[in-house]
Amino acid sequence: MADLRPAAVGLRTRLFQIIFESDSRLAKSFDIGLILMILASVAVVMLDSVDSYHSAFGTLFYEAEWAFTLLFTLELAARLYCLERPLKYLTSFYGVIDLLSILPTWLALLFPWGQSLLVVRLLRVLRIFRVLRLMQFVGEGRLLIDALKNSWHQILLFLFGVLMVVIIFSSLVYLIEPPEAGFSNIPTAVYWGVVTLTTVGYGDITPVTPLGQFISMMVMLIGYSIIAVPTGVFSAEVIRSLREQRYSNEACPGCGLDRHEHDSRYCRRCGTWLDEDTQDPRLRDEADGASQQGH
Amino acid sequence: MADLRPAAVGLRTRLFQIIFESDSRLAKSFDIGLILMILASVAVVMLDSVDSYHSAFGTLFYEAEWAFTLLFTLELAARLYCLERPLKYLTSFYGVIDLLSILPTWLALLFPWGQSLLVVRLLRVLRIFRVLRLMQFVGEGRLLIDALKNSWHQILLFLFGVLMVVIIFSSLVYLIEPPEAGFSNIPTAVYWGVVTLTTVGYGDITPVTPLGQFISMMVMLIGYSIIAVPTGVFSAEVIRSLREQRYSNEACPGCGLDRHEHDSRYCRRCGTWLDEDTQDPRLRDEADGASQQGH
Amino acid sequence: MADLRPAAVGLRTRLFQIIFESDSRLAKSFDIGLILMILASVAVVMLDSVDSYHSAFGTLFYEAEWAFTLLFTLELAARLYCLERPLKYLTSFYGVIDLLSILPTWLALLFPWGQSLLVVRLLRVLRIFRVLRLMQFVGEGRLLIDALKNSWHQILLFLFGVLMVVIIFSSLVYLIEPPEAGFSNIPTAVYWGVVTLTTVGYGDITPVTPLGQFISMMVMLIGYSIIAVPTGVFSAEVIRSLREQRYSNEACPGCGLDRHEHDSRYCRRCGTWLDEDTQDPRLRDEADGASQQGH
Amino acid sequence: MADLRPAAVGLRTRLFQIIFESDSRLAKSFDIGLILMILASVAVVMLDSVDSYHSAFGTLFYEAEWAFTLLFTLELAARLYCLERPLKYLTSFYGVIDLLSILPTWLALLFPWGQSLLVVRLLRVLRIFRVLRLMQFVGEGRLLIDALKNSWHQILLFLFGVLMVVIIFSSLVYLIEPPEAGFSNIPTAVYWGVVTLTTVGYGDITPVTPLGQFISMMVMLIGYSIIAVPTGVFSAEVIRSLREQRYSNEACPGCGLDRHEHDSRYCRRCGTWLDEDTQDPRLRDEADGASQQGH
């Protein structure tokens, strides 16, 4: 391929380096420009939903939106152009986000029902993650993501237990409280239960009977106490991740096992002496024994 | 017994394997089917409490409820049939839950006052835990449960201290605030105190006098700070549990160092072979060398 | 003294053992009875503040209150009787609590203005701590109290920083929001700030302008994030306390220093070999050297 | 310089020691006096904003304010007088705070529009930090600040992720909920999202449709769970800081083991004397013994 269209390939390679990588100066400017444009377009979508701003700056917002959409469309075209398998990209996570970022505006132009999709454009905000990842900022969050991966199973189980508690206590309060207090059906009572247990406490539905207030107090105290569970699990995971960073990076000269604890003197797998600068005391003893035998 | 009724025992054994165990394919299908049925029946009970759904789908819900109740009754009968001591099961935790899951519907059929018990059916949701335990999903939560067991004593003591703080500050605010603000009696003031200290903050009762607001601010700051207590205790327990999982209990036969990692084969301090049941490969090598030298 | 009034001393000693100690069976019954009586008397004070209960059971409550007061007065008299220095007890923390538990009822009898002191009786609840301490239940909380002692200085500093943040952001919102929104003066704005930062969120005062809502969002996110600070400090303290429990209890045979780490083989203060069952390798080496020199 | 104006330099040096240092008794009195004056002036500004207090004590507050302003102006003049480069101080953080503490009062005297700046005087509260730092109280918070410095990058990333979640869920609820429920535009919906996710829960805007309530419940549960993230990160940092404080960085000259406790004099693994600058008492004893044997 490189032989067939050298010039075009040169353009594609250069485009690829600018758009998909982040090493050159041009690529970094592109990344920063993209972040700013994404933030600006999200701000426009958000502000346009405010009636007073819409009536005052509606036309400006409309034009800005089209400018952003055209630029994002151009960017997507450039991305697809410089990839070997553009279709595979389009069906990837970021490809779908790219499409969802521009499609609503085009659809709203073509079909009247497209208007209702315009809010989908806010998914553009997810595109920032790609740029951050490129710029290795997200590398900072590796620890967080590792700890989340290790603890999500337990946190899910915790949330399941929370829902059990909520369903049982909510039904109880539903039975006790009069419907006028807002507990008109069980799903609403469960909504109240989640609002209470998570300590959000809107106050749109509150118990009015003494017994209902007493059970609410129990739900609050449970919610206040068991927040310790996800926090404890996650803290333990972060500490474990940090500790694993703390392992010595030295690999065993015998079997190559790495991640020894810092006070290890012998490889825990093959028993080789780890500190190459000094001699293994066992060998010294043996040497002593040998020299003594030699006498 | 197996000799007396071989065929029936065969059926009972097979039923037992399907219902109470989770190894075979049929047993797993049964578990998943049961979870789906429990969730569906709970959803029906919850949705039926919504007036609009009740008037629209009341008959459907009624029929679905009877279908679930008949199936659960059948399931309970099968459970009792394949157990040696069915009565002992019926008085166990899950046996009681099984009964409470079906009794209300039958009672509502037989007696008019049974209607008020229908919400008890939501306890069905607890039956999911049995299935999860069967499928060893709850094994994931072993760590959580261990840590909770180790820390509940301290968390209870903490909650007791919290209640002291609440009672004393609530009485104070009760004295200061006018009854019109909602602080009409001490139990209500205590309810407000729990709502405030746990940072739920409904806002149904709020202080209106400057002094009352000042004391409220103290309660809030106390609640905001001492949430650190259960969290700290629980985190410490999870970390301890994790650490204990990570180290084997085996001590080095050479120098006595314990707390080796699970994959350790040699002591990290003195290099001794840890697995006493087999021979250290190094010695074998040396023995080989010696025998070769002997040639 | 024991020689002068042996019989009375015998009574005093026995009373002391029952009231102030918790070893004998009688003393334990006394403790449990006291806890129940304290809880009952607190419940009476709380319920008596509810209008409907007061009008229904007012006389009963009044009689119960007098019964409790007489019993508590008797108990205090017994305490003072069996102590060597009763005045010193009366001015101690628990002595003051004991007095405050009974004085209001007596004062309300003697003076009409004593009525307003009746709520002071709720301080009785603090007396439970003494009983719990006696029964060594609070020993469970030693870890909590140690960790609180070690971290309170930092948590206080944290609260001071929180107040700075609250004052500055509240003044800002006070300037931005119209007084009709509830931000009528700076103390009220600070009250709103504490309600928001501690994530209590009553909702009695909420920002209505977009800029006010934006700054509120910042306060909320700050409050949501910095709760990590007391939690982190306290968790670290609990973990440190737990780890110190983990120290070996073995004292150095050389200098008596205890709290060695578990893998310590030599005392970190005087260098003595800690494992008394085996011989210090240094001595063995020296012995070897001596025997070799002997050759 | 000291030679040119000895007397004046003496005054400047003494002033410097009183104002900028905290060793002598006079300097400590100055610090405490300054803290009290700052607190009093902040209290005056806050109370003066309350209408009832303003009308009752307005003149008193006005006079007190001028007294504080004159004293603070005098203090600033003294600070500038005893510094070599007063301009550099004026442009430093604390110099700007000092200026902002007194300028509003002077401007309000000179220009009518200066009134609106009066709230800026609350920044005086920041001056307390300087005094606390002087008195080495903030040294207590060194650990907190270190841990914050190490974890702020991850906490910022966390807050960014939180905002993503909020924007996406808020837009969803904005689409679902009718504008009458308060979700009139996307910025307001985002405000609601932050109020909900941070578990503040004012309740000024709450979902009314079942679907909106369902999504709200998800936002609440997410907010309730992911508070574990900053807490876990910060806890891990505090624990790391504490551990690093606990161990000295000195490595054993005998076996190279590092991370000894600060009071360690002998290596806990090989018994070597750790303090290389002095001689091991054991060797001295042995030397003594040898010399005694030599007699």
Confidence (pTM): 0.81
CATH topology of domain C138-229: Helix Hairpins (1.10.287)
pLDDT of residue A195: 95
Q: Quote the CA–CA distance of C184 and B208 in Å, as a whole number.
A: 13
Token duo for residue D231:
């807490």
Q: Give the whole-number percent of chain C exceeding pLDDT 90.
A: 22
Token duo for residue C214:
């934006």
Query: Which pLDDT band, with edges at 50, 70 and 90, does D223 fall under?
Result: very high
| Average pLDDT taken over every residue of chain B | 80
Residue pair A227/A133 in contact by the 8 Å Cβ criterion: no
Q: Which residues pair with C162 in a beta bridge?
A: none
Q: How many CB pairs under 8 A join B and D?
A: 10
Q: Residue A148: list chain D partners with CB under 8 A.
A: 229
Amino acid at position C105, single letter? T
pLDDT of residue A5: 45
In chain D, the residue whose alpha carbon lies closest to the alpha carbon of B50 is: D210
Query: Which CA distances in Å does C118 have to B168, C48, C64, C94, D110?
Result: 13, 11, 14, 19, 56
Cβ atoms within 10 Å of C7's Cβ, excluding its own = 7
Instruction: Give C246-277 pLDDT, tens digit per residue.
Output: 555 556 666 666 555 555 666 666 666 666 66
Q: Residue C199: list chain A partners with CB under 8 A.
A: 199
Q: Give the whole-number percent of chain A exceeding pLDDT 90.
A: 22
Nearest CB to B220 within list C140, C195, C234: C195
Query: Which CA distances in Å does B69 have to B104, B125, B207, C164, C249?
Result: 10, 14, 50, 60, 60
Which one of B231, B234, B238, B240 would you mutate to disrupt binding with D, by most D Cβ within 10 Å of its Cβ? B231
| Average pLDDT taken over every residue of chain C | 80
- Is D47 buried (19+), middle (13-18) or exposed (0-12) by CB count in 10 A? middle
Mean pLDDT is highest, among C132-146, D123-137, D264-278, D279-293, for D123-137
Instruction: Give B235-249 pLDDT, tens digit per residue.
Output: 888 887 777 665 555
Q: How far is C106 from chain B (nearest CA, A)?
A: 20
Q: Quote the CA–CA distance of A73 and A64 in Å, as a whole number.
A: 14
Q: Which of C50-54, C64-68, C86-90, D20-24 has the lowest mean pLDDT?
A: D20-24
Please say whether the dihedral angle defined by the alpha carbons of residues A97, A100, A101 and A103, taken in this order, is positive or negative. Answer: positive
Q: Residue B228: list chain C partners with CB under 8 A.
A: 155, 230-231, 233-235
Question: What's the complex ipTM?
Answer: 0.78
Which one of D221, D244, D259 would you mutate to disrupt binding with A, by most A Cβ within 10 Å of its Cβ? D221
The larger pLDDT score, comparing residue A2 to residue B219, is at B219
Q: Quote the CA–CA distance of A277 and A288 in Å, as a whole number.
A: 20
Query: Which pLDDT band, with edges at 50, 70 and 90, does A110 fall under?
Result: confident
DSSP string, chain B: -TTT-HHHHHHHHHHHHHHH---SHHHHHHHHHHHHHHHHHHHHHHHHTSHHHHHHHHHHHHHHHHHHHHHHHHHHHHHHHT-S-HHHHHTSHHHHHHHHHHHHHHHHHH-GGGGGGGGGGGGGGGHHHHHHHHTT-GGGGHHHHHHHHHHHHHHHHHHHHHHHHHHHHHHHHHHHS-GGGT--SHHHHHHHHHHHHTT----SS---SHHHHHHHHHHHHHHHHHTHHHHHHHHHHHHHHHHHHHEE-PPPTTT----EETT--B-TTT--B--TTS--HHHHHHHHHHHHHH-
Q: What is the mean pLDDT of residues C99-122?
A: 80
pLDDT of residue C284: 57
Nearest CB to C201 within list A201, A235, A263: A201
Instruction: Give A21-36 pLDDT, tens digit per residue.
Output: 777 888 888 888 888 9
Q: What is the mean pLDDT of residues D234-244?
A: 80
Q: Which of A246-250, B160-164, B198-202, D186-190 has the lowest mean pLDDT?
A: A246-250
Chain A interface residues facing chain C, Cβ-Cβ under 8 Å?
199-203, 231, 235, 263
The larger pLDDT score, comparing residue B249 to residue C80, is at C80
Judge: C47–B168 Cβ closer than 8 Å, yes or no: no
> Quick one: which of D244, D238, D245 has its CA closest to D151?
D238
Q: How far is A201 from chain C (nearest CA, A)?
A: 8
pLDDT of residue D221: 94
Q: What is the mean pLDDT of residues C171-199?
A: 91
Q: Residue B201: list chain C partners with CB under 8 A.
A: 195, 199-203
Judge: C144–B229 Cβ closer than 8 Å, yes or no: yes
pLDDT of residue A247: 53
Q: Residue C174: list chain D partners with CB under 8 A.
A: 49, 119
Cβ atoms within 10 Å of C203's Cβ, excluding its own = 24
Chain B interface residues facing chain D, Cβ-Cβ under 8 Å?
199-203, 231, 235, 269
Q: Touching A: which chains, 3+ CB pairs < 8 A? A: B, C, D
Q: How far is A51 from chain B (nearest CA, A)?
A: 30
Q: Taking 70 as the threshold, does the pLDDT of residue C168 lie above it?
A: yes
Q: Which of B147-156, B171-180, C241-250, D195-204 has the lowest mean pLDDT?
A: C241-250
Mean pLDDT is highest, among B45-59, C144-158, D244-258, for B45-59
DSSP string, A215-239: HHHHHHHHHHHHTHHHHHHHHHHHH
Q: How far is A278 from chain D (nearest CA, A)?
A: 10
Judge: C199–A199 Cβ closer than 8 Å, yes or no: yes
Q: Give the whole-number percent of chain D exceeding pLDDT 70.
A: 75
Q: Taking 80 as the threshold, does the pLDDT of residue D9 lie above it?
A: no
> Quick one: which of B256, B254, B262 has its CA closest to B280?
B254
Judge: B202–D203 Cβ closer than 8 Å, yes or no: yes
Q: How far is D89 from chain C (nearest CA, A)?
A: 23
The larger pLDDT score, comparing residue D128 to residue B293, is at D128
Q: Quote the CA–CA distance of D164 and A143 in Å, as a whole number.
A: 19
Judge: A200–D190 Cβ closer than 8 Å, yes or no: no
Token duo for residue B274:
């840890």
Token duo for residue D94:
């604390």
In CATH, what class is C11-132?
mainly alpha
Q: What is the mean pLDDT of residues D191-213?
A: 93
- For chain D, the domains span 11-132, 138-229
Nearest CB to B201 within list D201, D231, D235: D201
> Quick one: which of C133, C121, C129 has its CA closest to C61?
C121
Q: Touching C: which chains, 3+ CB pairs < 8 A? A: A, B, D
Please say whether the dihedral angle defined by the alpha carbons of residues A95, A98, A100 and A103, taken in this order, is positive or negative. Answer: negative
Instruction: Assign D247 to helix, strand or coil.
Output: strand
Judge: B203–D200 Cβ closer than 8 Å, yes or no: no
Q: Residue D235: list chain B partners with CB under 8 A.
A: 235
In chain A, the residue whose alpha carbon lies closest to the alpha carbon of C199 is: A200
Q: Taking 50 as the threshold, does the pLDDT of residue C2 lie above it?
A: no
Q: Taking 90 as the threshold, does the pLDDT of residue D179 lie above it?
A: no
Q: How many CB pairs under 8 A join B and C?
A: 137
pLDDT of residue B110: 84
pLDDT of residue C3: 43
Token look-up 């650990």 returns D143
Q: What is the mean pLDDT of residues A139-161?
A: 77
Nearest CB to A267 within list B200, B242, B266: B266
Can you list the alpha helix ranges (DSSP code H) found in D177-269? 186-197, 210-226, 228-246
pLDDT of residue D245: 63
Asked, colleague to colleague, whether B11-132 and B138-229 share their fold, the answer is: no
Q: Residue D231: list chain B partners with CB under 8 A.
A: 231
Instruction: Assign D36 to helix, strand or coil.
Output: helix
